[in-house]
Amino acid sequence: MKIGVIGLGLIGGSIFKRLRKLGYEVIGISRSQKGDNIYSEYEHLKDCNIVFICTPIHTILDVLDKLCSVLTSDTIVTDVASLKEFVTKKSYPFHFIPSHPMAGTEYSGYEHSFEELFEGAKWVLTPFDNSNTAELEDLIKKMGAIPIYAKADEHDRAVALISHTPMLIAQAIFKACEGNDLALKLASSGFRDMTRLAASNCEMAIDMINYNHKNIQNSLLNFYSTVGDLLSDYNENTLSDIAQKRKNMYNNEGKNIL
């Protein structure tokens, strides 16, 4: 099987490294990286069985359009963008299955990519009706990830709750402390864990806010009203219920077990 990866950054580089390690023939399309089987022209993807698009969110539609003159229905194409509804507006001549690996770090670029990134991670697929996903699902499992199926709009609402809104709040918490040197000096592990997402890849953060604006707004309204509800009846039962559910969600290695 021949596999293509476009954009060798954190996610694309990790897919590239993992699939090579698994023994697949992997073609990389990169503007910055050089090496065996790495090219800058899309022509080299012509006879690939599966192609992963791993470029920034705001470039994905353009890349999909460019692939129209290179690939046919014989090739499965997936994009790994953190949002899924925006890629559903057009049909393509290749077999397109949008997806989103729920794995990452606060770093970006090939130098931070590593082959174990997807080990034990959920990998969401949002296929169109009647799409055969068996081959892609199999490859995702071989990379160590766990496939999860969802509708594109449900996915975008869910990631607003668990990823985009927490990132925005982490950035705001950090910014709110600026100017208070004592607070920043005293800040320890609680502040570090709470604000980890404030160190997110800026380009991706801006794309997330722009492309998932509506869902983030709704999720923020839900957050404000939840803070209000919590404070209006701040009691031990409610807090221990939250604490217990949060403890039950992750195992000792920090992996989500739900």
Which CB, 13 or 127, lies closer to ligand NAP?
13
Binds ligand NAP by CB under 6 A, chosen from 4, 7, 98, 127:
7
Nearer to ligand NAP, 141 or 245 (CB): 141
C-beta closer to ligand NAP: residue 213 or 245: 213
Encoded one letter per residue, x for contact with ligand NAP by CB under 6 A and - for no contact, window 147-186 reads ----------------------------------------
SS3 letters across the chain = CEEEEECCCHHHHHHHHHHHHCCCEEEEECCCCCCCCEECCHHHHCCCCEEEECCCHHHHHHHHHHHCCCCCCCCEEEECCCCCHHHCCCCCCCEECCEEECCCCCCCCHHHCCCCCCCCCEEEECCCCCCCCHHHHHHHHHCCCEEEECCHHHHHHHHHHHHHHHHHHHHHHHHHHCCCHHHHHHCCHHHHHHCHHHHCCHHHHHHHHHHCHHHHHHHHHHHHHHHHHHHHCCCHHHHHHHHHHHHHHECCCCCECC
Rule CB under 6 A: is residue 32 a binding residue for ligand NAP?
yes
| Under rule CB under 6 A, residue 108 binds ligand NAP | yes
Q: How far is the CB of 119 from ligand NAP (least distance, A)?
A: 14
* Binding stretches for ligand NAP (CB under 6 A): 7-12, 30-33, 54-57, 59, 80-82, 100-101, 104, 108-109, 201, 204
